[in-house]
């Protein structure tokens, strides 16, 4: 049961004013001063599943039993305008509803949301995991004479000395997330995430067998570039040409396990004009380091939810967002008479990905992504038969991306125009259709085999190289590199059949365009601005991999685990916090990260 607020006569509001907050209609006032409000956060035992540290510290390590944890907060600052229209109840206890991915905080910062509270960082393992995974959490706020749902978003500061609190109306956050997705699709672009190391680039060095040696690099000087810290990298062949082509149809982001500075340096080399990679630059290195320290090295560190908040839209919200303005999208019911942008979470309180329809990922290590997101990954590998590392993005990857883009917007136009259409388009679903079509065509083109009774030797696995100079099979797609199973001229693979198969009217007709479909690019002025993230927005990098993958050196100390890597904001230009922080009360802790 909620406790009543203090009386106005006893506690007069402090005349703090919040800075400009953009399009978020914040209306806040409260009859309280900081040192007189000491709320307690209640952690339900179900949340232990999302916190390895808390699970390890509980009696018996059973991960579920035990009573809720009560965590007192010390309020250091309140920034509440005294003349706002709403009054919020500052209760004594709040139940933590769950964890939120990094992308939710990015949405708040891109809309110039200022913090309203500063608390001391709680000394509790659950919050230490929250900080290490760069997530946030939220509690529900009560509003006087209103049924609107408001939340308090709690975000650790860069140095884990404070929690910053942001009050927002849930429907406004939902609207902004839907608008970001709609703006992206209106620009006729889809989101595309690139890995860096062993996908687009590889580090030059003699101290690790996974690097390109200096002798090898000297043989391809046209592909070698210098980084700002003195290191060198080798670019994939025609990588600039590929990025220039892809940015016309996709909003390009980067997600890497490298440290943030490394990612920024590599992106400057990949996109020197700052016109192609216009999305988010995200380093999953902090998450990777935290998982290693927690004994969870095999836990994937990359997560699309950390990059795109619209991956948390419910199926109903995703369908509605393709047809109606954001303000008219039907909100998912929570079951208690309310509504929420938040889809059902797992038992651990971690937000689940319920709308993975749009993003595609190009990465050589799909296992580094969350298991439910690996179907979104276009898996690449180094070119076989090459003495020096290279990844071929032409023509195969280009053809896949062309097909997915063309087919997605063809279906989207049909879905938007026909209200009887029930299935909204899905880029990841179209990619799966493409792979099924490739397999179908390859099966159909398989030559007649000799019956086993007539074979002189037992059948064995098909060799990757037939020894006569033919290109080896690519294990990720079943085609020989640079060739097509049904083509002698090295053209692109056949386009898969339409959804539902060829059907009775199609017979054996083959959908095989001679050239990759070229969608009409959006006007250059809107390039990359679809989601509201600009180039100065989120930033971050990519190396250490499992299974002998490449890890660039950190701070000039060679590969392996990063040493004393500083914490960085997701944004690439400015500190994403408030510009000040508290260190055990007051100090220079920095803003939220």
Strands 162-169 and 150-156: antiparallel
Find the distance separating the first CA and the last CA of the chain, reported in whole Å. Answer: 34
Encode pLDDT of 90-133 as tens digits: 899 999 998 899 999 999 999 989 999 999 999 999 999 999 99
Task: Give the burial string for 265-296 (b: 16+ CB within 10 Å, else e).
Answer: bbbebbbeeeebbbbbbbbbbbbbbbbbebee
DSSP conformational letter for 369: B
Provide the pLDDT for residue 67.
Answer: 60
- Mean pLDDT calculated for residue range 55-70: 60
SS3 labels along 375-436: HHEEECCCCCCCCCCCCCCCCHHHHHHHHHHHHHHHHHHHHHHCCCCCCCCCHHHHHHHHHH
Q: Which one has a higher pLDDT value, 465 or 173?
A: 173
pLDDT bin (cut points 50, 70, 90) of residue 401 is: very high
The ranges assigned to domains in the chain are 34-172
Annotation: CATH topology of 34-172 = Ku70; Chain: A; Domain 2 (2.40.290)
User: 512: pLDDT confidence band, cut at 50, 70 and 90?
Assistant: very low
> Token pair for residue 182?
């709609």
- pLDDT value of residue 213: 97
The DSSP element (H or E) to which 217 belongs, if any, is helix 214-218
pLDDT at 486 over 50: no
Query: What's the mean per-residue pLDDT of the chain?
Result: 75
pLDDT band at 330; cut points 50, 70, 90: low
**What does pTM read for this prediction?**
0.72
pLDDT tens-digit series, residues 366-395: 999 999 999 999 999 999 988 999 999 999
Task: Check pLDDT > 70 for residue 174.
Answer: yes
* DSSP state at residue 270: H
Q: Alpha-carbon distance 134 to 282, whole Å?
A: 12
395 upstream amide cis, omega within 30 of 0: yes
Residue 59 banded pLDDT, cuts 50, 70, 90: low
* DSSP-derived secondary structure letter, 525: G
DSSP, res 302: B
User: Phi and psi of 468, rounded to 5°?
Assistant: -110, 20
Which DSSP state fits 485?
T
Query: Following CA atoms 268, 272, 273, 276 in sequence, which dihedral angle do they give, to the nearest 10 degrees?
Result: -70
């Amino acid at each position: 049961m909620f406790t009543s607020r203090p009386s106005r006569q006893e506690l007069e509001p402090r005349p703090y004013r919040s800075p400009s907050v953009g399009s978020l209609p914040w209306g806040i006032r409260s009859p309280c001063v900081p040192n007189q409000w000491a709320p307690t956060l209640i952690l339900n035992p179900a949340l232990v599943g999302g916190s390895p540290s808390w699970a390890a510290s509980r009696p018996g390590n059973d991960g579920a039993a035990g009573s809720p944890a009560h965590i007192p907060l010390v309020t250091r600052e309140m920034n509440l305008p005294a003349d706002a229209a709403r009054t919020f109840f500052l209760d004594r206890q709040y139940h933590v509803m769950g964890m939120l991915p990094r992308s939710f905080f990015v949405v708040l910062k891109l809309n110039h949301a200022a913090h309203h509270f500063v608390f001391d960082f709680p000394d509790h393992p659950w919050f230490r995991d929250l900080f290490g995974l760069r997530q946030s959490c939220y509690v529900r706020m009560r509003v006087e004479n209103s049924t609107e749902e408001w939340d308090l978003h709690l975000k650790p500061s860069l140095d884990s000395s404070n929690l910053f609190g942001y009050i927002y109306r849930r429907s406004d956050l939902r609207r902004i997330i839907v608008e970001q997705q709609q703006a992206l699709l209106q620009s006729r672009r889809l989101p595309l995430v690139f890995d860096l190391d062993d996908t687009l680039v590889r580090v030059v060095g003699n101290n690790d067998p996974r690097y390109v040696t200096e002798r090898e690099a000297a043989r391809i000087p046209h592909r070698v570039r210098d980084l700002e810290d003195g290191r060198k990298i080798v670019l994939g062949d025609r990588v600039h040409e590929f990025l220039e082509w892809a940015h016309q149809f996709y909003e390009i982001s980067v997600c890497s396990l490298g440290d943030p500075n490394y990612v920024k340096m590599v992106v400057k080399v990949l996109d020197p004009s700052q016109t192609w990679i216009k999305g988010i630059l995200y380093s999953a290195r902090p998450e990777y380091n935290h998982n290693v320290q927690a004994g969870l090295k095999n836990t994937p560190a990359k997560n699309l939810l950390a990059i795109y908040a619209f991956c948390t839209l419910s199926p109903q919200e995703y369908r509605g967002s393709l047809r109606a303005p954001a303000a008219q999208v039907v909100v998912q019911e929570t079951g208690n008479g309310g509504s929420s942008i938040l889809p059902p979470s797992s038992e651990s309180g971690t937000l689940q990905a319920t709308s993975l329809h749009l993003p595609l990922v190009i990465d050589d290590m799909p296992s580094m992504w969350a298991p439910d997101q690996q179907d979104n990954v276009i898996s690449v590998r180094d070119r076989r038969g090459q003495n020096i590392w290279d990844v071929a993005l032409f023509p195969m990857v280009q053809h896949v991306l062309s097909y997915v883009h063309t087919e997605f917007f063809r279906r989207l136009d049909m879905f938007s125009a026909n209200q009887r259409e029930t299935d909204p388009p899905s880029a990841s679903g179209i990619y799966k259709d493409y792979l099924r079509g490739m397999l179908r065509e390859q099966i159909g083109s398989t030559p007649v085999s000799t019956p086993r009774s007539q074979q002189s030797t037992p059948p064995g696995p098909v060799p990757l190289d037939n020894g006569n100079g033919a290109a080896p099979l690519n294990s990720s797609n079943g085609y020989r590199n640079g060739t097509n199973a049904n083509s002698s001229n090295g053209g692109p693979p056949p386009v898969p059949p339409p959804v539902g198969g060829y059907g009775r009217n199609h017979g054996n007709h083959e959908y095989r365009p001679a050239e990759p479909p070229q969608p009409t690019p959006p006007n250059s002025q809107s390039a990359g601005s679809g989601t509201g993230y600009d180039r100065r927005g989120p930033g971050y990098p990519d190396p250490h991999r499992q299974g002998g993958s490449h890890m660039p050196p950190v701070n000039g100390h060679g590969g392996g685990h990063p040493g004393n890597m500083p914490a960085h904001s997701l944004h690439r230009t400015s500190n994403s916090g408030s510009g000040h922080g508290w260190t055990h009360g007051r100090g220079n802790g920095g803003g939220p990260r």
